[in-house]
Homo-oligomer: A and B are copies of this chain.
Amino acid sequence: MPTRNTIKGARTREGILRAAADIASVDGLDGLSIGRLAAELGMSKSGLFAHFGSKESLQLATIEEARNRYVKEVIEPALSTPSGITRLYALCEAFLSYIEREVFPGGCFFASAMAEFDAKGPSPARDRIVECQEQWMITLERAAEGARTKGELRDDRDSQQLAFELEGALLSANWYFHLFHDTTNIERARHAVRTQLSREATPAGLSQIEI
């Protein structure tokens, strides 16, 4: 039974995690310090700490908060479109829109986290980030595979290769948009996605994209 106190506690926790995910997208999950996070929220360090019990557990909870935001802002809108090349295109567009709208102030949370933990030793946080990134790549690959089954993408190409190349453009848009403070890079990625998809599309697929 949720009492008034547990409800209030859950709300506080949500607020903490929203701020934590925002900070981590800029300064990294290791750069996220409990003291600074508490100060930003106007609460005591140990009061905040009590919600999680360890920094590692705070990091893991922050990853889940970021994942929920990513699912809501990128995956769900795209998965509401019909499967096929339309959906593959929608996934790419949803990602670029999510970068443009600055859903996280530091750019894509998972791009930042991936880069940060890329070469580091194994840890629960790293494992979870690898899982999330793998799932996103699988989402792109499945969308490509769906388009191929529907005859909208040519049969002589590889879905994993296509997903890799699309993801390259999306990630570059994320990095260069923030590094150079220049939205041109998002347009370059849009252009890359469109030419890549139209090159691999069948005539049936092409008619789906160019409405």
The DSSP consensus for interface residues of chain A is helix
Q: Can you list 17 pairs linking A and B with CB atoms under 8 Å apart?
A: A105-B119, A106-B118, A106-B119, A107-B119, A111-B115, A114-B179, A115-B115, A115-B175, A118-B175, A130-B180, A161-B188, A164-B185, A164-B189, A164-B192, A165-B169, A167-B172, A199-B199
In the complex, A124 has a CB within 8 A of chain B:
no
In the complex, A168 has a CB within 8 A of chain B:
yes
In the complex, A116 has a CB within 8 A of chain B:
yes
B-contact 0/1 string along A153-197, CB 8 Å cutoff? 000000011001101110110011011100001001101100000
CA distance A25 to B106 in the complex (A): 20
Which residues on B sit within 8 Å (CB–CB) of A27? Answer: 120
CA distance A146 to B196 in the complex (A): 24
Copies of this polypeptide in the complex: 2
Interface size on A, residues (CB 8 A): 41
CA distance A192 to B106 in the complex (A): 28
Which residues on B sit within 8 Å (CB–CB) of A165? Answer: 168-169, 188, 192
In the complex, A135 has a CB within 8 A of chain B:
no
Which residues on B sit within 8 Å (CB–CB) of A172? Answer: 164, 167-168, 171
A100 to chain B, nearest CB (A): 14
In the complex, A84 has a CB within 8 A of chain B:
no
Which residues on B sit within 8 Å (CB–CB) of A167? Answer: 172
Q: Give A residues with C-beta under 8 Å from B.
A: 25-28, 30-31, 105-107, 111-112, 114-120, 130, 133-134, 160-161, 164-165, 167-169, 171-172, 175-176, 178-180, 185, 188-189, 191-192, 199
CB < 8 Å: which of B116, B134, B168, B185 contacts A116?
B116
